[in-house]
Homo-oligomer: A and B are copies of this chain.
Amino acid sequence: MPAIQDIKVAVDAVVFGYDAKQLSVLLIKRGVEPFKDSWALPGGLVMDNESLETAVTRELKEETGVQIDYLEQLYTFGKPGRDPRNRVVSVSYFGLVRPNHFKIQAATDAKEVQWFPVKELPDLAFDHGTILNMAKERLKAKLQYQPIGFDLLNKEFPFSDLENLYTTILDHKIDRRNFRKKILSFEIVEETDKIHQKGSGRPAKLFKFNNKKYNQLLNEGFHFEIKIV
């Protein structure tokens, strides 16, 4: 057993947002060394008495001001040398926010915060590029077997938003009729009596995800699945 272990524990978050047919990631510009002025994932050291989840939520709030709608653990990165100063083990998280929680504001260690479309990412500090890639894979995979897409849309959304979300993130065409049929067959989205007008074209009914119904179906052995490719 080592006499005294000298390793720090940090958390980092990859937070995705979706709006205007674009998938974006929340990044901060570091205000302190190392990698001062580089773009990086929001995150920081865990405090002695808070849980890992509390730490991510706190750091996100402090550094970016975003309110998170979905959060899960992604992976833990701990190779010696990933931080040039001390050994740091980083527990990374994967988060999603709705468009109306997009308001951001930099503070503490972050001198800037910005949403970057995933197609136009800057170089990232540390091994954050690796973490981000893993998060993108996770998002693509999960979209196909868990209804997490709804956490990227407004609570009430036109069907075309859902459809665009899938085609954009998975980068694949979908047959509109079959997609709608499939989603509706799950009986986890409900029609509302609201109607949405988007400039030109026929107005669209708004739908909403019924989470209670989803959990109930889960208990009965239901399995969400949208296969693309």
A positions within 8 Å CB-CB of B = 1-2, 5-9, 44-52, 73, 75-76, 78-80, 87, 89, 91, 109, 221, 229
Residues of B contacting A229 in the complex (Cβ-Cβ under 8 angstroms):
221
A-B contact list, 27 entries, CB within 8 Å? A1-B44, A2-B45, A2-B47, A2-B48, A5-B8, A5-B9, A5-B46, A6-B48, A7-B8, A7-B48, A9-B9, A9-B78, A48-B80, A48-B87, A49-B80, A49-B87, A50-B80, A51-B79, A51-B80, A52-B78, A52-B89, A73-B76, A76-B76, A78-B91, A89-B89, A89-B91, A221-B229
Q: What separation, in Å, do the CA atoms of A112 and B44 have in the docked complex?
A: 39
Residues of B close to A87: CB separation below 8 A: 48-49
Tell me the complex Cα distance, A44–B8, Å.
Answer: 16
Given contacts A89-B89, A89-B91, A221-B229, contact A45 B80 (CB under 8 A): no
Of B46, B75, B78, which is within 8 A of A46 by CB?
B78
Contact A45 B1 (CB under 8 A): yes
Residues of chain B with a CB closer than 8 A to A5's CB: 8-9, 45-48
Shortest Cβ distance from residue A100 to the other chain B in the assembled complex, whole angstroms: 31
Q: What is the CA–CA distance of A50 and B8 in the complex, to the nearest angstrom?
A: 14
Q: How far is the CA of A47 from the CA of B9 in the complex (A)?
A: 14
Q: Which residues of B contact A48 (CB under 8 A)?
A: 2, 5-7, 80, 87
Chain B: CB-nearest residue to A55:
B78
